[in-house]
């Protein structure tokens, strides 16, 4: 394709110029001299254009390049076009950045962008309010110099950002923040801080309320139970009152066990900071669980217990016992007499595995993820019959979370279920 700035066009121009010089030289009778003078003129003209370009690039304040002529016209016009393109691109990028910043400012949380060395690159207004940053003075500062808290320094140093960190706000002692850090882009980090004071307050109120109500219900229920037992012992076995009295006693017993479970749950919830240095003798614990299971099973089930000797766990004995015995009692309660229940405590690659497998009724897959919710029951009537409160697995979940573990459930309807958890390696102790 031919265009005005093509090499072919430039070359033709040069050829025409040289030919003209030669022609004039022949007419004058001195072609060599005229050719030399022509070439010299051409060089001077080119240098002049170069000087103009240089002047514009380095000295001139004008944004647009000077008007070029001849073969230089293409160069000047090219620069002008490139400039326009760059200006448009910069404009687009600035608009994009503006939109991004507006979006980040509209976030309901504090947002801070950090580089790989944890220096602050940018923060939104909420970060200035919640974390006390001063912008732009704090630009480029290390974030752990501004948030001076040992927990925060340790968190950022460890570089494990899977779990969020809870921290009192550097601005106010009464405000609690949840800090999350996410890696993105070219080794950059995005820190998001949320004010969770209200959530924690409400959670505390709920826990306190449940614990207080359960505690207050204990005495009236014991009194009711006592009087019911007395009335039952006084009533004639075939009198009209015998059946209602038996029912009333059964229901008060249920309420009592529910209150007990609620108290256990709130106690476990409150005791999040357990002493993980404490060693729990797991073979002793398994012996106790075996005795309990035998008493519950009343010889109607095939029980098998396997415990790896010398394999102990660190943590809270009461909480671990509560978790294990809830799983065993569930296995017995949700398995028809004659079924098989096998309990194991053994080492696996990731730590110590506790599992309870039964040949019971099993659980449909859609229920499994919700089983650890408080009061969630697959079949309330069945659960009521078996004396369930719907709190057992919630207790298990909380107790396990304090031991850095979680409950795994695998089940097949009509075939049976396996409830298990792994105490991680760092909490396991092996005796020689
Ligand atoms: P509950 O006191 O009602 O047993 P849990 O929290 O211990 O409450 O258990 C929640 C629900 O999970 C139970 O109602 C029951 O439907 C189901 N479940 C728990 N363990 C088993 C099991 N081993 N086999 C079948 N279903 C089970």
| Span from the CA of 121 to the centroid of ligand 1 (angstroms) | 51
Q: CB under 6 Å to ligand 1: residues?
A: 326, 330-331, 334, 358, 360-361, 363, 371, 376-379, 383, 388-394, 417
| Span from the CA of 221 to the centroid of ligand 1 (angstroms) | 25
**Residue 411 burial (C-beta neighbours within 10 Å; 0-12, 13-18, 19+):** buried
Farthest-apart Cα atoms in the chain, separation: 152
- Is the residue at 223 inside a domain? yes
Query: Of all protein residues, whose CA lies closest to atom 16 belonging to ligand 1?
Result: 378
Number of domains the chain is built from: 4
Q: What is the mean pLDDT of residues 37-42?
A: 94
| Span from the CA of 337 to the centroid of ligand 1 (angstroms) | 16
Same domain, 172 and 214: no
Query: Of all protein residues, whose CA lies closest to atom 4 belonging to ligand 1?
Result: 388
pLDDT at 274: 83
pLDDT at 1: 39
| Span from the CA of 320 to the centroid of ligand 1 (angstroms) | 18
Residue 7 or residue 30, greater confidence: 30
- Is the residue at 1 inside a domain? no
Going by pLDDT thresholds of 50, 70 and 90, the confidence category of residue 250 is confident
- Is the residue at 174 inside a domain? yes
CA atoms of 104 and 189, how far apart (whole Å)? 14
Q: Is pLDDT at 2 greater than 50 in this prediction?
A: no
pLDDT in tens, 301-355: 999 999 999 999 999 999 999 999 999 999 999 999 999 999 999 999 999 999 9
Give, for ligand 1, the residue of 393, 394, 400 to mutate: max count of ligand atoms closer than 8 Å to Cβ. 393
Percent of the chain with pLDDT over 90: 58
- Is the residue at 95 inside a domain? no
Tally of CB atoms within 10 A around 391: 21
Q: What's 178's domain CATH number?
A: 3.30.450.20
DSSP bridge partners of 179: 165, 193
Element (H, E) at 122: strand 120-123
Domain boundary residue among 213, 248, 270? 270
Same domain, 310 and 415: yes
pLDDT at 4: 56
Q: Is pLDDT at 290 greater than 90 in this prediction?
A: yes
Q: Is pLDDT at 99 greater than 80 in this prediction?
A: yes
Q: Is pLDDT at 125 greater than 60 in this prediction?
A: yes
Mean residue pLDDT of the chain comes to: 90
Same domain, 236 and 350: no
Compute CA distances 25 → 12, 20, 21, 22, 41, whole Å: 20, 8, 6, 5, 15
Q: What's 415's domain CATH number?
A: 3.30.565.10
Are 125 and 105 within 8 A, CB to CB? yes
Are 211 and 228 within 8 A, CB to CB? no
List, in sequence order, the alpha helices (H) in 271-316: 282-297
**Residue-range definition of the domain harbouring residue 325:** 279-430
* Ligand 1, atom nearest to 335 Cα: 24
| Span from the CA of 170 to the centroid of ligand 1 (angstroms) | 45
Q: What angle do CA 284, 341, 326 make, to 5 degrees?
A: 60
User: Beta 340-348 vs 188-195: how paired, if at all?
Assistant: unpaired
Residue with tokens 């921290």, as numbered in its chain? 167
Q: What is the mean pLDDT of residues 126-134?
A: 90
Same domain, 241 and 214: yes
Query: Of all protein residues, whose CA lies closest to atom 2 belonging to ligand 1?
Result: 388
- Is the residue at 101 inside a domain? no
| Span from the CA of 25 to the centroid of ligand 1 (angstroms) | 111
Compute CA distances 21 → 25, 44, 47, 130, 419, whole Å: 6, 16, 20, 80, 101
């Amino acid at each position: 394709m031919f265009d005005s700035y093509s090499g072919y066009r430039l070359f033709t121009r040069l050829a025409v110029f040289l030919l003209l010089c030669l022609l004039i030289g022949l007419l004058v009778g001195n072609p060599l001299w005229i050719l030399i003078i022509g070439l010299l003129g051409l060089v001077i003209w080119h240098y002049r254009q170069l000087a103009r370009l240089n002047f514009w690039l380095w000295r001139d304040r004008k944004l647009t390049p000077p008007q070029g002529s001849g073969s230089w016209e293409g160069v000047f016009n090219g620069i002008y076009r490139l400039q326009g393109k760059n200006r448009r691109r910069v404009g687009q990028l600035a608009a994009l950045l503006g939109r991004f910043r507006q979006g980040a400012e509209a976030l309901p949380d504090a947002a801070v962008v950090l580089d790989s060395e944890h220096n602050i690159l940018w923060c939104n207004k909420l970060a200035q309010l919640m974390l006390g940053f001063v912008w732009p003075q704090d630009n480029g500062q290390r974030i752990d110099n501004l948030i001076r808290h040992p927990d925060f320094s340790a968190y950022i140093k460890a570089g494990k950002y899977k779990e969020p960190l809870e921290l009192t706000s550097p601005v106010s002692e009464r405000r609690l923040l949840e800090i999350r850090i996410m890696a993105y882009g070219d080794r950059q980090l995005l820190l998001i801080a949320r004010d969770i004071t209200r959530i924690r307050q409400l959670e505390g109120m709920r826990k306190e309320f449940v614990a207080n109500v359960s505690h207050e219900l204990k005495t009236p229920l014991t009194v009711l139970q006592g009087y019911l037992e007395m009335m039952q012992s006084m009533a004639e076995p075939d009198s009209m009152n015998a059946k209602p009295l038996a029912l009333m006693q059964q229901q008060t017993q249920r309420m009592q066990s529910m209150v007990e479970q609620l108290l256990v749950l709130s106690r476990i919830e409150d005791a999040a900071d357990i002493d993980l240095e404490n060693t729990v003798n797991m073979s002793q614990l398994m012996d106790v669980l075996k005795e309990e299971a035998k008493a519950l099973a009343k010889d109607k089930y095939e029980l098998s217990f396997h415990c790896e000797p010398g394999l102990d766990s660190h943590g809270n004995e009461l909480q671990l016992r509560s978790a294990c015995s809830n799983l065993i009692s569930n296995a017995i309660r949700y398995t028809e007499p004659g079924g098989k229940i096998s309990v194991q405590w053994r080492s696996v690659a990731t730590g110590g595995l506790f599992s309870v497998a039964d040949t019971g009724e099993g659980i449909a897959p859609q229920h499994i993820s919700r089983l650890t919710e408080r009061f969630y029951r697959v079949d309330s009537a069945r659960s009521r019959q078996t004396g369930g409160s719907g709190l057992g697995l919630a207790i298990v979940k909380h107790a396990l979370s304090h031991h850095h573990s979680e409950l795994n459930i695998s089940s097949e309807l009509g075939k049976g279920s396996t409830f298990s958890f792994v105490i991680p390696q760092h909490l396991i102790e092996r005796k020689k």
